[in-house]
């Protein structure tokens, strides 16, 4: 990444005329041209990370919106939606029992812990070169400075460090401002204050401040998915110095898994979901099957079929949509839990973008012998396990009857399509996002991007293109970036985003023409690359 540092700095000082050369030809495509735009909405459309960032005050307003879960329950029961919505009824009883238990430790301040023998362990951790020079750190602490989570190292040994972080946030807030980031050498310290938690990212990667804020928001949402926002607030209202780790027991693996992929998975950068490349006729059979059997059962809100963190299909209740960020939380839950492979599971989960005040109840099961394809049936009824179990069995039976499982297995085994299928020799790799459907596609990784370091290098350049083109002070429709190892081009239209890596000596004219050919190829293959028509229940 050393060469990328120099290239990025050089690019920021480039003349505006360099961008115009690539922008002149964009009008050859219609403004509303959007390969992958489905006839019916599958997921909520998304904005960029920069556009989605909100202040803490705005966030508190957003969390007070009415409960979708309450609306669904009342609608199914035939109760008027004008009745008062009681968010309290959506909290999980077992969690209430847990939160009523309090420790007998100090109730004054986190600083009392600094008088214990942990000071010695704290110093050892901070001076450990293995810990110190990790590329990416993420810390979570309460507003009282109580350690909750650290991506690397033990929280118990980082008490003083988190105390300093809390002091920084508190000091700046006391003066009527909000700390967002600190830049020191090649390190960025990014802060996200979401009452009652403080999240901090420390990194030497190429991720921008808005992108890191997006990462921290995902981590925050992962915690909310375990507790709900209303329960989380109640916990700290009762006791500001509460040790949340006691209730997070067993859920740290979800945070560990999430923080590992935030830096490398394009779905978080693009705020989009990757769909499994699959013959459209097979996908329609799967969607119709889910809709047919789930439609007979009240209270099912979403039915989702996943394989290898890719979406096969999604069926939803009319009027209600799933946000990609919630689907990412679900995917992380599945990929980080081996226990789901051995038994059908019934699990409460909060989807923060859908409804941060209550739980949906998920029936989770694998439907193939290799335990790769996972079916999730999400309901608002916590007593519906056996009914959904029977529904699941009927779905699996029909999918096998029409050879859908074989088609999914074949697609997974092929690992997607090759960039050579696009037919443009200069193109090495690309990311394409349909803006209205929040779905993206990308070819499988091939030479010269065969190692993790190769991908990290390329992904850092994708991060730079994405941030630079969305930069509010000077947003761009097209950006040409020439480096030592490759040439990168970003292109934004009304309906899509495209980022591509080319051979290093490709000209601007050739790169521009190639970008159009990529979009035209995606348009030709869109029925297999995207979910174009998802039924509702």
Q: In what order do the strands lie in the sheet with 136-142?
A: 147-150, 136-142, 197-203, 187-194, 181-184
Per-residue pLDDT of the chain (537 residues; tens, 9 = 90+): 333 332 333 333 333 333 333 443 444 777 778 998 877 778 888 765 545 555 555 555 555 556 888 888 888 777 543 443 343 333 343 333 333 223 233 322 333 333 334 444 455 666 677 777 788 999 999 999 999 999 988 887 888 899 999 999 999 988 889 999 999 988 999 999 999 999 999 999 889 999 999 999 999 999 999 999 999 999 999 998 899 988 888 889 999 999 999 999 999 999 999 999 999 999 999 999 999 999 999 899 999 999 999 999 999 999 899 999 999 999 999 999 988 998 999 999 999 999 999 999 999 999 998 899 999 999 999 999 999 999 999 999 999 999 999 999 999 999 999 999 999 999 999 999 999 999 999 999 999 999 999 999 999 999 999 999 998 888 999 999 998 999 999 999 999 999 999 999 999 999 999 999 999 999 999 999 999 888 898
DSSP states along 356-422: TTS-EEEEEEE-STTS-EEEEEEES-TT-HHHHHHHHHHHHHHHHHTTHHHHHHHHHHHTS--GGGG
What is residue 58's predicted lDDT score, i.e. its pLDDT?
Answer: 54
What is residue 14's predicted lDDT score, i.e. its pLDDT?
Answer: 39
What is residue 190's predicted lDDT score, i.e. its pLDDT?
Answer: 96
What is residue 133's predicted lDDT score, i.e. its pLDDT?
Answer: 77
Token reading at 71: 């609306």
* Greatest C-alpha distance within the chain: 70
What is residue 215's predicted lDDT score, i.e. its pLDDT?
Answer: 96
| Residue-wise burial string across 334-348, b where 16 or more C-beta atoms lie within 10 A, e elsewhere | bbbbeebeeeebbeb
Centre a 10 Å sphere on the Cβ of residue 44 and count the other Cβ atoms it contains.
18
Coil/strand/helix, residue 81: coil
**CA–CA separation, 218 vs 203, rounded Å?**
16
Token reading at 84: 């008062």
The neighbouring-strand residues paired with 183 are 188
Task: Give the contacts of 351 (CB within 8 A, at least 6 positions apart).
Answer: 225, 322, 323, 326, 329, 330, 360
Q: Which helix (H) or strand (E) holds 489?
A: strand 487-492
What is each CA distance from 204 to 188, 403, 421, 457, in whole angstroms? Answer: 6, 48, 36, 13
Question: Rg (Cα) of the chain, in Å, rounded?
Answer: 24
Token reading at 56: 């803490």
What is residue 462's predicted lDDT score, i.e. its pLDDT?
Answer: 97
Token reading at 489: 């081009």
**For residue 124, how many C-alpha atoms fall within 13 Å in the half-sphere facing its CB?**
10
């Amino acid at each position: 990444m050393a060469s990328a540092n120099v290239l990025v700095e050089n690019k920021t000082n480039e003349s505006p005329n360099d961008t115009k050369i690539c922008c002149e030809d964009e009008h050859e495509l219609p403004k509303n041209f959007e390969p992958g735009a489905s006839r019916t909405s599958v997921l909520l459309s998304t904005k960029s990370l920069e556009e989605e960032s909100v202040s803490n005050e705005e966030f508190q307003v957003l969390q007070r919106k009415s409960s979708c879960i309450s609306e669904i329950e009342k609608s199914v029961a035939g109760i008027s939606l004008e009745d008062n919505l009681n968010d309290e009824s959506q909290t999980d009883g077992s969690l209430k029992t847990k939160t009523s238990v309090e420790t007998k430790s100090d109730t004054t301040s986190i600083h009392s812990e600094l008088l214990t023998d942990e000071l010695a362990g704290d110093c050892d951790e901070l001076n450990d070169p293995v810990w110190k020079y990790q590329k990416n750190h993420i810390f979570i602490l309460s507003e009282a400075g109580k350690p909750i989570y650290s991506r690397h190292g033990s929280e118990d040994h980082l008490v003083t460090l988190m105390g300093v972080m809390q002091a920084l946030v508190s000091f700046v807030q006391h003066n009527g401002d909000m700390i967002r980031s600190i830049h020191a050498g090649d390190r960025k310290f990014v802060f996200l204050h979401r009452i009652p938690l403080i999240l901090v990212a420390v990194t030497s990667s190429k991720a921008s401040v808005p992108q890191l804020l997006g990462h921290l928001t995902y981590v925050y949402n992962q915690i909310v998915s375990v507790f709900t926002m209303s329960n989380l607030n109640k916990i700290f209202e009762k006791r500001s110095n509460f040790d949340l780790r006691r209730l997070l027991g067993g859920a740290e693996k979800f945070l560990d898994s999430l923080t590992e992929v935030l830096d490398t998975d394009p779905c978080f950068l693009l705020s989009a979901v990757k769909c499994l490349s699959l013959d459209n006729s097979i996908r329609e059979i799967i969607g119709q099957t889910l809709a047919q059997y789930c439609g007979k059962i009240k209270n099912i809100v979403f039915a989702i079929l996943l394989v290898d963190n890719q979406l096969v299909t999604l069926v939803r209740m009319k009027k209600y949509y799933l946000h990609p960020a919630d689907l990412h939380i679900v995917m992380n839950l599945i990929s980080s839990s081996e226990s789901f492979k051995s038994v059908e599971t019934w699990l409460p989960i909060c989807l923060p973008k859908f409804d941060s005040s209550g739980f949906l109840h998920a029936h989770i099961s694998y439907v193939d012998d290799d335990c790769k394809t996972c079916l999730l049936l999400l309901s608002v009824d916590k007593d519906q396990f056996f009914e959904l179990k029977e529904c699941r069995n009927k779905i699996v039976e029909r999918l096998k009857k029409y050879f859908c499982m074989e088609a999914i297995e074949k697609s997974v085994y092929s690992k997607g399509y090759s960039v050579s299928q696009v037919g443009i020799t200069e193109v090495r790799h690309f990311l394409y996002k349909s803006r209205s459907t929040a779905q993206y596609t990308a070819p499988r990784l091939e030479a010269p991007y065969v190692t993790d370091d190769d991908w990290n290098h390329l992904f850092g350049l994708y991060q730079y293109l994405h941030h630079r083109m969305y930069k509010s002070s000077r947003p761009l429709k097209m950006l040409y970036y020439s480096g030592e190892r490759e040439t990168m081009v970003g292109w934004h239209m009304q309906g899509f985003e495209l980022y591509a890596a080319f051979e290093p000596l490709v000209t601007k004219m050739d790169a521009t023409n190639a970008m159009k050919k990529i979009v035209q190829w995606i348009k030709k293959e869109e029925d297999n690359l995207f979910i174009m028509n998802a039924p509702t229940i």
